[in-house]
Amino acid sequence: MKLRGPDYSMREIAFDRFAQELGISCQSVVYLRLQSDAIPLTQQPEESVFQAAHLLLPEHQAGLCSPSCLLAPLQDQLNAPGADQIAVLRDCGLSCALDWPRVDLLACLCGANESGDRLYTVDHALVMIDCEQMFSTRPADLDGWGWWPDSDNAAAQENANQLAVDLCERVVELPYPTLKWCAGLPADWPLQPDRDLLRSLRLAQLAAANFLIMGPHR
């Protein structure tokens, strides 16, 4: 629990559901109504009783866990000049590694102020976390997605396009009842988000559909 308040909680939970419906490894978050005398509120009494609770995950240590730790070469490979970053993540051995660029792309579709963060588990799986900044504004142009290759590497361009097209197709195919569930609130939750979350999800779908209509990124 981060005590970020009800609006961030609603946005993060809606995105968490949305991402998981798309098959993305994203930390599970649920609605939480605290007792007024709960320890976190005695320490920060100005905070709302309406918050979000996050599934606690066993996190990989800060350093390498062994000489063969999968995290060892990752940053150097991603930062290598002209690297095919999508291929690096695909082949790195970490479970769900490609969900990093996928969530960054969803951040564009979902009008995020900033994308989510990453957590690596002790069994070398990537989980996306801290996605409360989603649905801050309207969808952004996918040209701003940070995973388009800078080089003229045709294979890297194709890999990035393939990932973007696949994810946008998944977004477009989600049925309306699923979007409604993603944006839904508990019956006893008396607050509403600052933004219409269902409308924001529909706008994300429309932005994904527009990308597919426009064709491959160049």
75 Cα distance to chain centroid: 20
147 or 47, greater pLDDT: 147
- Average pLDDT, integer, range 176-189: 94
Pairwise CA distance, residues 38 & 155, whole Å: 54
DSSP state of 121: B
Predicted confidence (pLDDT) at residue 151 exceeds the cutoff of 80 = no
- pTM for the model: 0.91
Q: What is the mean pLDDT of residues 133-153?
A: 92
What is the DSSP secondary-structure string of 56-108? ---BPPSS-SSTT-TTTTHHHHHHSTT--HHHHHHHS--BTTTHHHHHHHHHH
Of 218, 217, 185, 178, whose CA–CA distance to 201 is shortest?
A: 178
pLDDT digit string (tens) for 13-66?
Answer: 999 999 999 999 999 999 988 888 887 778 888 788 888 888 889 999 988 899
User: How does DSSP classify residue 122?
Assistant: T
Give yes or no for a contact between 50 and 9, defined as CB atoms under 8 angstroms apart: yes
Tell me the residue ranges of DSSP E strands in the chain: 29-33, 50-54, 117-120, 126-129
According to DSSP, residue 196 is labeled -
pLDDT at 147: 96
**Which pLDDT does position 218 carry in this prediction?**
62
Nearest alpha-carbon partner for 205 in 180, 173, 183, 182: 173
Q: How confident is the model at residue 169 (pLDDT cuts 50, 70, 90)?
A: very high
